[in-house]
Structure 1
Amino acid sequence: MSAVIENYYLLFSNRQFLLFAGNLGLHVSIFFSFLNFLPFAFRELGYTAAEFGMHISLLPAGFVIGNLISRKWTATLGIIKMVRWGSILTVFAISVMAIVAFSGVQSGLALVLPAMIYSLSNGLTMPNASIGAINSVKRSAQGVGSGLAGSLQMLLGSLIASSTILLGAANDVRIGIGVVLGAALVALVAALLLRDDARLAVN
């Protein structure tokens, strides 16, 4: 028991681990948030549930593309650069979505295409942030670190996603977009604060 407590202490005092885990959790929270408030936005636009399902299928397609890019470029650019570029792309994608929404454009594709770009960026950040979080701690704490990083994903994801509805995103999609844009900006700050670490090199 004392070893477990010691490992948790090491994790919560490890700045690099917390930055990776925070970035990871914030990116997951954006996806959960989209699943929370986009159905209401599509209903307001007059789309059926089946039509929403067809549109939202672009998100996993974007994630697959991002994973393929990550597989090709992580060995060249490194984990931290991939997390940073993915975080920058996330901010760009959601900023485009915000511009579209606040301009009054009434189109499902106008919402989903930026979300697809976000999903692509998720394919860059998630696998690399996961590896970075685990590799940033000593080997004996990596099992606990993996579990804690996963728990933080669910915690941040559920809290931020539920906050979109509590704040009124079910009635105004712009509220939800504002929340996820805030999450994306914080995730970018976390990525920029990461320090280069030889242990994170990809061979």
Structure 2
Amino acid sequence: MRGGAWSAAPSGPGQVPCSLRGSAAAERRFRPSPRPSPHPGPRGEPCPVRMSFLLPQLTCKKEVDQAIKSVAEKVLVLRFGRDNDPVCLQLDDILAKTSHDLSKMAVIYLVDVNKVPVYTQYFDISYIPSTVFFFNGQHMKVDYGSPDHTKFVGSFKTKQDFIDLIEVIYRGAMRGKLIVRSPIDPNNIPKYDLLYQGI
């Protein structure tokens, strides 16, 4: 959501606020690396596509731009996070296991938040992983029953939840919709309070 910076904090019973230092939740909050390291290809290409968990990884803004422009008639799934984050690893496992079954409807890429600060800021990504969806270059929004319709924050609990969501986004997009209602059981959607600042 645009219009103000926010931080995501778990709000369910027994959840640990992100503001608590040393908590697992606090460690997963997005903090830009002071010196992100480039990963040039063997011939010095500035933006190689790398593989992680059998999924392609976009490593700079140019690659993300190209994916948004070039993926046609399929849902483009962009997972923003870090490869070594435990919740990202959990989500990546689900994405990898479903990518073949969804290959006719979706294309999935992993994006490191430190390497695409423009998109990280644009989508107000302060908690990882965050998953964003596009269709034919249009940002697809989903009503999860939460204030933020721009992205899914956290990991899906089951492979079927992710498959159901992609099917709903795909069918809605094919009918010209830019926002759809999430088919996921509300109990399976991580709950976060959006704390707005400077509004």
Q: TM-score range by the shorter chain?
A: under 0.3
Question: What TM-score, normalized by structure 1, do the two folds share?
Answer: 0.27
Larger radius of gyration: 1
Structure ranking higher on relative contact order (CA contacts 8 Å, 6+ apart)? 1
More strand by share: 2
Using structure 2 for the length normalisation, give the TM-score: 0.28
